[in-house]
Structures are given as C-alpha cells and as structure tokens.
Chain A
Amino acid sequence: MTELDSFRLEARDWLEANCPEAMRHPYRSEADPCWGGRNCKFQSEDQRLWLQRMSQKGWTVPTWPTEFGGGGLNREQNKILKDELARIHARPPLESFGISMLGPALLKFGSEELKKQHLPAIARGEIRWAQGYSEPNAGSDLASLQARADDHGDHFILNGSKVWTSYGDLGDWMFCLVRTNFDASKHQGISFVLFDMATPGVSTRPIKLISGKSPFTETIFKDVRVEKNQVIGEVNQGWTVAKYLLTHEREMIAGSGLLRAGTIPVSKTAIHTLGTENGILHNTMLRGDIAQFEMDIRCLELTIERARDEVKAGVSLGAASSMFKYYGTELNKRRNELLMAIGGSESLVWEGKDSHDGQLPKSWLRSKGNSIEGGTSEIQLNIVAKHILGLPG
C-alpha cells in the first residue's frame, strides 16, 4: 500500500467517525452554510461539532501549514481528502472569505506577525472577514478607488466609503484597499490594510438585492484608525496583493454553485420533474439545452483538472483564473435558467415550506451577480485578450 493509499484509509475512517450524519447532505437553503465569526449562531449542535472537529484536525484549510492552523497536506493528499468528503456528501464545515481570499494573500505577502495573528483565527472560523474593494465610483476600474488613508506616524486615519460589501454587517474584520498616495499613478498609491470593523467610525448600511435578502452593505469610514502593522506588503504596493487575491476570488466564484460536490445534476432534476418516455426526456428542446450544458460543465471540470496538473502546487493560475471565472459564472447562470425552466410555474413560488422559501428563484436571481462580482465577465474577457492573447490596446 502506498502512503497515499493509507492516507485515504485514514481520512475515510476519520471522516466516518467524525462527520455528523446531519452534515452529510448538500445545502438545502441559503441559511445552511456556516460562516463562523464572533457572532456566529450555529444552526445545530452538529454544525458546531463539525466545524470544531474539522478545524482541530486542520482540515478547514487542509493545505495551509500546520503552524497556522492548517492540515499541512500536499496536493495529492488534498485531492484525496476532497474525494473522501464528496464520497459521504459532506458539506463544507466553514464558508469563509478568509479562507478563499485573504488567506492565500496573507500566506504569500503577509509578515510572520500578521500570519500568526490572523491565519489560525480564520482556520478556526473565529473571525469573519469582509472585502472592501469596490466603491461607488470604482467598480470595474477598481484601481481608481478614492477611500483615503492619511499617515499619522504609527497609524493611518481612514475616510471614505465602500459599496457592495458582501455580508458587511456580519463581518468582524475587513481587508480593504485604500489610497495612501494621491500623487502617484493610480496603481502605485494603493495600500492593502486590515482592520477590525468594530473600530469606531466604521458603519454599514444594508442594500437589498433582487433576490430579496440583504447580505450586502455600503460601508462608511469616518476617521477610522488603522494600525500600520496591519498593512499587507509594502505601503503603496497594495495593488499587487489586490490582484493576487482577485485570482483566488475568481477561482472560488468559478466553481461555486456549479462544481461543488453534492450538486445535483440538472438532468437528474429534469428526469424527476418532467419524466421520460422510452428513456427520452419529455421536453425535447429543453433536453438539447440540458445536454449542451452538461457537456460544457464536463469540459470546464476537465480543464480545471488539466490546469491543476499543469501548474505546480501553490503557483497561481494567473490570468487563467479569468477564463475559469468567465466560464464558471456564465455556466452557473445557464444552470439556474435551466432549473427555472424545468420547474415551470412552481419555480416562481417565493415563500412556503414546499419551495424552501423560494430557494430556486432566489438562487436564480442571485446567480445573475456571479458574472458581476469579482470582476465582470467583460472584464475577464478583457484580461484574457490582453494578458493571455497579447492583443493590443
């Protein structure tokens, strides 16, 4: 038996013993994921246990170094762990911008002190992070951002505002892009800072989305004190960190809702809902669209696998993440459109137990944001054209 084989058995046994039965189902509603944080209210004791056991094992962040709360797994081991989690349909113990976005940036650009301060708390799900990138006048043109941080010796004083802050009202800390030099060119005067959202002067205002919920805020800074030791990378060099983080954000968005283990194939839903005759789906036009969609999904999966095989562990996919982001989000929108079509009039039901409080129409509406958040589809295509294909202008 190879080392990897024995790792697989070990992982399987451990998961068998430690993953509560109730955590072995895909999410049923938006309320199911556990986001951790200071104000976390666990849905159930099982949810709490699952997070606790996984984080003690280091498996909320399997590939991070053990000294920062990770599992220290290599790529192959991580793949095995993922397989084993998928095998029992285990849901993730923790959803977290700290894990998917800030963590990789901290690991790459953060000082030892910052890593020690923040990474273990992320791994344990103790601190929930919010992303302060976009501003009212800096969306696609992110680098034109104007929130300002003025130098006060050992600290900065921050003024301005951010918008579209996902779960801004629930965040404990924020990673934030601010302008620290107004004279330099727009990419040269940005710094990447971290601060506690409980700091005086930080306030949020909820923004309601078309999907009904309000997990968004405008976030306003009035004379907020930010310690200088909370800068990732050098002052005024934050754009490099910001871009690196975006590649991780894009990879995360590319796969979310689409390639997650436990996602029920669209065709299965269609067979169940519409029925078949001689093995052929009743609605034949829809059948073609579903088949085309399922082909495209498989293509994306294989290409992500190939990209992973092509880069060594830890190396970012760089501009390729833009391609995956574009494909993944456009496909997820198609997936939701197909599910709406399959559901027919039932897919319009907004409330009530049968519809899990309108889970389908709400996630359909929410999916429209996939091709906007983390940089729009058009911006991803611009990046591919410029940085992969080398087209001018």
Chain B
Amino acid sequence: MALVLNEEQVMLRDAARNFLQERAPVSHLREIRDSGNLKGFSSEIWTEMADMGWTAILVPEKHGGLEYGYSGLGIVLEECGRTLTPSPLLSTALTAVSALTLTGSPEQCATILPDVVSGELLLALACDESAQHQPERVATEAEVLEHSFVLSGRKTAVVDGHVANTYIVSAWTGNGISLFLVPADAKGVRVERYPVLDISVAAHVTFDQVELAADSLLGKLHGGQVILDQVLDAARIGAAAEMLGIAQEVFARTLEYLKERKQFGVPIGSFQSLQHRAAKLHGEIEMCKSLVLKALQTLDDKPGGDAEISSLTKAKLGVTAHHAATEAIQMHGGIGMTDEFEIGFFLKRCQILETLYGDHHFHLDRFAKIRGY
C-alpha cells in the first residue's frame, strides 16, 4: 500500500483538526487541570467525539461501528497529540476495542461494543504490575473454578483506570496467562486514583478475591499472552501516533519562534547551531511520519499486527517526540520553562506516552530479540 493518506483520510484529518483546535486546544487541557476536574478530561468533549464517530472507527459494522481501521483512528490520535486533548480514545476506542475484536466472543462483542460506540462505556487495560513495563510477569492470579474464577492481585499505571466501567485484566491461571473482563463495580475491586504529572490521571487497581462468572474470560484460557502482546502492540502504535502529533506541533511552534525571536539584532533562527539542530529534528520527524503510517497500515493489513514494526515505532517515536519537546524548551529559552507557556505541557504528555507500554529501552531490547540477537 502506498505510504500516503487517501482522500477520505485527508478529510478525516481535516475534520479532526478543525474540531480539536476549535473545541479542545491546549488551553482546554489547562482549564481541566486548573478546574480540579477529577476525571482529567471533559465528558462533553468525549460525547462530541463519540457523536462524530471516533469511538466507532475500529468497531465492526455489525456492532454499530464504522470499521474504518487503525489508519483512521491513528489520524485522529495524531491530531489529539497536536492539541493535547485528553480523552479515553486510546484506552477505550483503540486498546479495548482491539482486545475485543481480536479475541472477544460474539456475545462479549455484542454487549460491549455498541456501548463503546455510544461513548457510554469506558474500558481500561490493567496489565502492568511494576514501575517498569513487564507484561509477561504477572503475579495477579485467577483461580479456575468449575463455573467461575476468583481474581486477586494489584495492577498499576492503569490508564483511565479511575473512570473505567470495565477492566481488561491479565492474570496467571496456573498454566499460562488469561485475560478477563472485570466490572469496576464488582465486589473486591478497589481503585486508587493518582495524578500523572500534573496533566493526567491514572489508577492503581486492586482485585481482592473478586468473583467472576465464566463468561468474563476474554479469549482462551491460558492463551492470553499472545493476545495481550497484540493488544499492547496496537496500543503502542496508537501512543506513537499521538506522539507524532506532539512532535510535529512542538517543532512547528519552535520553528515559528526561531523566525520571530530576535537577539543580537537578528532572528535566532539565523544561528547555524540552531539551524542544524532544527534540520536534524525535521529529518527525524519525517522518519517518524513514515513509520507511523506504515505501522498503522500493517495493523490494518494483518490482524494482530507485527511486533517488530510496533516496537520500532514506539521506540523511535518515544525518542524523537521527547527530543523535539526538549529542544523546544531549550530553543525558547527562559519562557519555555514557564507554566504559563504551553510548551511544557507537550513534554509532560510526551513523557507519559513514552513510559506507557514500554519506553524506548524496552523496545530496543524487544526489537533485537525479534530480529534474533
């Protein structure tokens, strides 16, 4: 497939951009932070996103979705990166929907997906248990009984864990890892909400002898590891798409500043040391654009995606977006360090996404393993 957006995708991008810049620009994130909003996002904006069909992009048509694929959702996430618009798009519309479409039973899909589309149901993937991402290390256990399961353990860094109605939980079932759909209001579920930097929210979620019905098993018993990897790979590419938006936006703002800020009687952008750094960043961002496009297309072409391109994309975007945001602060000088100025928000969001589901060290290691060394 050609590495370019088609006409429809360009229209989707423009529509998303218009909406986000009008309704939820970076100042919107600041308002949410400063207003003491405990959710960390605006329900009103979320409803509007659902009305525009963004929650339906990945959902199959038979469940009320648009079946428009990862390439489509990636475009929207990239735009959300530009405006830093907070929402459960990544956790629910991408990550959870991926899990359901990859391995959900027809009944599970039929009950859950329509409510995702309407924006009423939020889901969160609860897989990490330590500060370093190690999805294959699972201490959480689910006891397998004849017609039910009993789940115990503690998950950390659960994105949107503080608002989710349902968790997708990985647990050891004695002979492998299995995935479970766990209602947030089940007896024994405890949620500790915590602020993530000062712009986002997540939760630790504890499961204390939570009784689960047989139909809460998602996918095959003991067969969760492969699916979890595929779900994570999709989520990583989603996070990368958002970081691509961040990288482009901070770089565009930096370039503008280089042209307008004067010192020594000339625009600072005429200094070669800054020019060369800008030129290299431009190149890095161009590389990232190709990667994200390819990674999204791969997810659409091949159910379950491709681990190598996913790790490559997450690693590269993590480094590049981070570098772009750091350089942005440096090239803005003192003003870049102020809370009043917006650049700092980009660095914060970027750091959150870089940490999520494996930072670039994790993925460098994984990439090498996949390539056999």
Which of A290, A292, A302, A384 meets B283, CB within 8 Å?
Answer: A384
> Does B368 lie within 8 Å of A302, measured CB to CB?
no
Contact with B along A351-393 (1 / 0, CB 8 A): 0000000000000000000000000001011101110111111
**Residue in chain B with minimal CB distance to A323:** B283
Is A295 among interface residues, defined by CB-CB distance under 8 A? yes
Is B18 among interface residues, defined by CB-CB distance under 8 A? no
> Does A306 lie within 8 Å of B368, measured CB to CB?
no
Is A270 among interface residues, defined by CB-CB distance under 8 A? yes
Contacts of B278-303 to chain A: CB distance below 8 A: 278-280, 282-283, 286-291, 293-294
Binds B, one of A10-18, A162-170, A273-281: A273-281
Binds A, one of B30-38, B82-90, B180-188, B268-276: B268-276
User: Which residues of chain A are within 8 angstroms of B369 by Cβ–Cβ distance?
Assistant: 279-280
> Does A302 lie within 8 Å of B3, measured CB to CB?
yes
> Does A381 lie within 8 Å of B279, measured CB to CB?
yes
Also in contact, A391 and B269, with CB within 8 A (given A298-B312, A323-B286): yes
* A300 to B288 CA separation, bound complex (whole angstroms): 10
User: Which residues of chain A are within 8 angstroms of B3 by Cβ–Cβ distance?
Assistant: 302, 305-306, 309-310
> Does A290 lie within 8 Å of B373, measured CB to CB?
yes
Contacts of B129-176 to chain A: CB distance below 8 A: none
A168 CB to nearest chain B CB (Å) = 32
> Does A281 lie within 8 Å of B368, measured CB to CB?
yes
Is A267 among interface residues, defined by CB-CB distance under 8 A? yes
B36 CB to nearest chain A CB (Å) = 40
User: Which residues of chain A are within 8 angstroms of B270 by Cβ–Cβ distance?
Assistant: 391-393
* Count of chain A to chain B residue pairs whose CB atoms are closer than 8 Å in the complex: 124
* A173 to B287 CA separation, bound complex (whole angstroms): 38
User: Which residues of chain A are within 8 angstroms of B191 by Cβ–Cβ distance?
Assistant: none
Contact with B along A295-335 (1 / 0, CB 8 A): 11011101101100110000000000001001100000000
> Does B4 lie within 8 Å of A310, measured CB to CB?
yes
Also in contact, A309 and B367, with CB within 8 A (given A303-B290, A390-B259): no
**Residue in chain A with minimal CB distance to B266:** A393
* A251 to B64 CA separation, bound complex (whole angstroms): 48
Q: Classify chain A: how many residues form its interface, as a range.
A: 35 or more
**Residue in chain A with minimal CB distance to B294:** A302
Secondary structure at the B interface, as helix, strand, loop or mixed, is helix
Which of A291, A299, A306, A391 meets B367, CB within 8 Å?
Answer: A291
> Does A267 lie within 8 Å of B372, measured CB to CB?
yes
* A393 to B275 CA separation, bound complex (whole angstroms): 10
Interface size on B, residues (CB 8 A): 37
User: Which residues of chain B are within 8 angstroms of A115 by Cβ–Cβ distance?
Assistant: none
* A385 to B100 CA separation, bound complex (whole angstroms): 46
Contact with B along A249-279 (1 / 0, CB 8 A): 0000000000000000001001100001001
> Does B287 lie within 8 Å of A299, measured CB to CB?
yes
* A386 to B272 CA separation, bound complex (whole angstroms): 10
* A105 to B287 CA separation, bound complex (whole angstroms): 28
Is A201 among interface residues, defined by CB-CB distance under 8 A? no
Is A288 among interface residues, defined by CB-CB distance under 8 A? yes
Is B231 among interface residues, defined by CB-CB distance under 8 A? no
Which of A291, A302, A389 meets B291, CB within 8 Å?
Answer: A302
User: Which residues of chain B are within 8 angstroms of A296 by Cβ–Cβ distance?
Assistant: 287
Is A287 among interface residues, defined by CB-CB distance under 8 A? yes
Is B267 among interface residues, defined by CB-CB distance under 8 A? yes
> Does B255 lie within 8 Å of A381, measured CB to CB?
no
Is A294 among interface residues, defined by CB-CB distance under 8 A? yes
> Does B287 lie within 8 Å of A303, measured CB to CB?
yes
User: Which residues of chain A are within 8 angstroms of B283 by Cβ–Cβ distance?
Assistant: 323, 326-327, 384
User: Which residues of chain A are within 8 angstroms of B4 by Cβ–Cβ distance?
Assistant: 306, 309-310
**Residue in chain B with minimal CB distance to A309:** B2
> Does B368 lie within 8 Å of A291, measured CB to CB?
yes
> Does B267 lie within 8 Å of A281, measured CB to CB?
no
A200 CB to nearest chain B CB (Å) = 45
Also in contact, A381 and B276, with CB within 8 A (given A290-B373, A295-B315): yes
**Residue in chain B with minimal CB distance to A388:** B282
A38 CB to nearest chain B CB (Å) = 41
B362 CB to nearest chain A CB (Å) = 12
16 additional A-B residue pairs with CB within 8 Å, beyond A267-B372, A391-B258: A276-B372, A280-B369, A290-B368, A291-B367, A294-B371, A295-B312, A295-B315, A300-B287, A306-B293, A326-B283, A380-B279, A381-B276, A382-B272, A385-B275, A389-B255, A391-B267
Task: List the 3 shortest-distance A-B pairs measured between CB atoms, nearest first.
Answer: A393-B270, A385-B275, A299-B287
A-B contact pairs, 21 of them (CB 8 A): A267-B372, A270-B373, A276-B372, A281-B373, A290-B368, A290-B373, A291-B364, A291-B373, A294-B367, A306-B293, A326-B279, A326-B280, A327-B283, A381-B275, A381-B276, A382-B275, A386-B275, A389-B278, A391-B258, A391-B269, A391-B278
